[in-house]
Structure formats: structure tokens, C-alpha cells
Amino acid sequence: MRQFLTVIICLFYIPCYCQFSFNIILNTSTLNGRKIFLNLLDNNSLHTVKTDSMVFKDNQIQFGGRLKFQSNFARFSIFEHGKNISINFVIDTCKSDVNLELTATGPEKLLLRNLNTKSNHIYRELDSIAALSFDKASKLTGKKNEIVTDTALYTEMLRRLVKSLETYPTDFFSVLALYRLSHYDHSPEYAKSVLATLATFSKENRYSILGKEIFDEQTKLISGKNSAKIGNKVLEFSVRDINGEIFNNKSLQGQNYIIAFSATWCLPCQTQLPKLKRIYQDYKAKGLKVVYFNNDDDLIKWNNHVLKNDLNWINVSEGLKPSQSKIQRSFGIYAIPSYLLIGKNGNIVYNSDQNDIEINDLEKNVRKLYDKSE
């Protein structure tokens, strides 16, 4: 997992390929007669969103089509001995004449030669930066091609990747790469570094569709994270409960309550559910409330989950996945489970997103609230 293109992040965004044309002449000396697949990828998740295939005849294939942007992540792949062998690259809206070959010795892999566009030059530079960080991590941990996402080394790698794009302020691929990189970390500090690099880009790139999306996403992230800091007043929100009625957290003014962001499909959420239920059982007689915020677009699963687990607290949902949740994002929450504890004065007194993902300190903070009032 060392390539820039294979860092794991998922955002469900399916582009419409309609604006820019591309043409690739693909030559080979090793794959004649073989079927080649060209996969156009989602520019953030790298999921395949469109596939074309052709068979090499007389050592050549010509692929053509249209893209939404000037550049797009893509993949060539073949099936060899029951295995899918692929290579990622950047497809640009220009005519390219390149070679695709299958290695004759060693592990079978595809090689792209003569792909000399500026986008692919930048891509290879990013890949080199990532590779150095993965090699460094391997030496420190003894685990090859692995870098833990909550380490200083991972943070340093991301900052270097983002900063390197400032060398190419007028190239559209810089915007595309920054868009992808912007989703690798959800800290305000990282968001600020992304915005700082965006500010160095040409006006055309800053005000492109992706440039504006980066700016909007990162400024909202910073705002959300700041709003959910301990000591701040909790944001007011309205959402439907499991009975279809509108719930507003303002109705809990003067009471202590937990907002738990969860989902039926989230395994860590289910692992922590018994702990949350126990805390609720221990303190509900003293007035503790729980607003169990379900991030799920399957309402039947949600209802079954509530019944199966006997969740007799306040169950609410927008009926949306986490990436689409406006309320969750307003609190700067980008991963679940996450928990906020609100005191009687409406101030946030605990946020698991701030260095307590295992909620080891949640009960201690609940106890403090009631110790003060006794």
C-alpha cells in the first residue's frame, strides 16, 4: 500500500464524463491478441465508474472518450492466469502514444512506457514521496509497505505531498491531486495546510470546480471542528426521530445528555454500544439523556437495530450516510463512532473525537457532571 493512488480513502462521488475528449494510442510487443481493460476511476475513491475494453490487433489499440475534467485517474488491467494485473496512471485530454507491456521475468506486472505528460510526471513525484515514507516506516516497524495513519510519520508524509504541489501551480493535475489528498486527514491543522497550498495555485485552478470544492470542504471542516471544541455552546439542530417526529436538541436544555454518532453497519460502533448502554442505565435515573444519531440510509435496518438492541433512548437519523450528513459535519465529525457530552448549561464538556476514540473517559466525565450537582 505504498502508491499515492492506492492510499485508502473513500468518498462516494460519481462524476459525469462529458466535457473533455481524450485519445490514447496503445502499442505493445508482448500483449498482442490480449484483451485490455481501460477503467476510468472516481477521482477520490478510485472506484471504477466506467470501463472500456479492446483486444490488441497488430500490436496496437486506440482508446477514446470524454472526461469531466482535463485530467482523470485511470487504470489499465488484464487477466493473467486467473489474476487481475493492473497499473494506475493519469489520463489527460490530449493525444497520447504510449506502450503497454507485460514483464517477461519476475512477478507479472504491467509497464507503461513513454507516458510523458506533465500530470504523470507530478503523479510519479508524489508516488516517490510516499514510497520514501513507507520505506522509512518499514525500517521502524519491520512491517513492509505499511504506515499507520495516526503516526507522526504519516502526518509528515501528507504535509510533504501537499506542499510538493506548490511547485506546479498552473497544472490542473495539482488541483486533482490536492482534492484527493484533502480527504486523507480531517484535522484542522491539515485542512489549513491544504488551503495554504490551494492559495498558491493559479486563479484558473483556484476557481475551478474542484478548486472551489476543496475550499468549501476544508473551510467547513475547520468551522465544524472549532464549533465542537470542549467549552463551546452546543449547536442547535433538528432531526426526525424513529417515530417520524421532529426532535430539537434545544428541548434538552437544562439537562445533561450524550450525542452518540453511530451506524448499523459500523463494527466499532457496535463494539462500544454495550459500554454506552451501561453508562445510560447507571445515570438515567439522575436525568442523563442519550441522543443516538444513526448514520444510515436504510431505515428498515435502523428500526431493526433499535428493536434488537432495546435502545430506549432518543433515536434520531437524517436517513443519510455519514459523508452526506449535514448535522454530523457541522460538529466536525468525519469518523464514527463519536460522542459529545453536553452539560446542563448547554456547553460541550467532552468530545471523543479529541483524543479518546475508545471512550475511556466518557463515564468519568458523566460522573463529574453529577458529582457537581450532588
- Contact (CB, 8 A) for 214 and 182: yes
The whole-angstrom separation of Cα 280 and Cα 313 is 9
The cell for 15 is 462524476
Q: Which residue has the higher pLDDT, 370 or 194?
A: 194
Place of cell 506546479: 168
17 pLDDT above the threshold of 70: no
Residue 220 CB partners (closer than 8 Å, separation 6+): 329
Place of cell 430539537: 248
Query: What was the pLDDT predicted at 241?
Result: 92
233-247 as b/e: b if 16+ CB within 10 A: ebeebebeebeeeeb
Residue 107 CB partners (closer than 8 Å, separation 6+): none
pLDDT > 70: percent of the chain: 94
How sure is the predictor about 55, in pLDDT bands with cuts at 50, 70 and 90? very high
User: What is the phi-psi region of residue 346: left when phi exceeds 0, alpha when psi lies from -120 to 50, beta otherwise?
Assistant: left
How sure is the predictor about 138, in pLDDT bands with cuts at 50, 70 and 90? confident
pLDDT tens per residue, range 300-338: 999 999 999 999 999 999 988 777 888 999 999 988 999
Average pLDDT over residues 279-305: 92
The whole-angstrom separation of Cα 176 and Cα 181 is 9
Average pLDDT over residues 125-130: 94
Query: What was the pLDDT predicted at 144?
Result: 67
User: What domains sit in the chain, N to C, each tagged with a CATH number?
Assistant: 4-114 (2.60.40.10), 122-227 (no CATH), 238-373 (3.40.30.10)
- Contact (CB, 8 A) for 259 and 294: no
Rounded to 5°, angle at Cα 291 from 290 and 292:
105
Concatenating the DSSP letter of every residue in 225-282 gives HHHTSTTSBPPP-EEEBTTS-EEEGGGGTTS-EEEEEE-TT-HHHHHHHHHHHHHHHH
Determine if the pTM surpasses 0.85: no
At 324, the amino acid letter reads Q
Instruction: Check residue 347 and report its DSSP letter.
Output: B
59 pLDDT above the threshold of 90: yes
Average pLDDT over residues 85-99: 91
125 pLDDT above the threshold of 60: yes
Q: Which residue has the higher pLDDT, 357 or 291?
A: 291
Distances (CA, A) of 191 to 127, 181, 194: 21, 10, 5
Q: Which residue has the higher pLDDT, 114 or 321?
A: 114
At 116, the amino acid letter reads N
364 pLDDT above the threshold of 90: yes
pLDDT tens per residue, range 182-203: 999 999 999 999 999 999 999 9
The cell for 229 is 471544541
The cell for 130 is 510516499
Pick from 55, 50, 28: nearest CA to 40: 50
Query: What was the pLDDT predicted at 98?
Result: 93
pLDDT tens per residue, range 248-264: 999 999 999 999 999 98
- Contact (CB, 8 A) for 227 and 331: yes
1 pLDDT above the threshold of 60: no
Average pLDDT over residues 267-276: 93
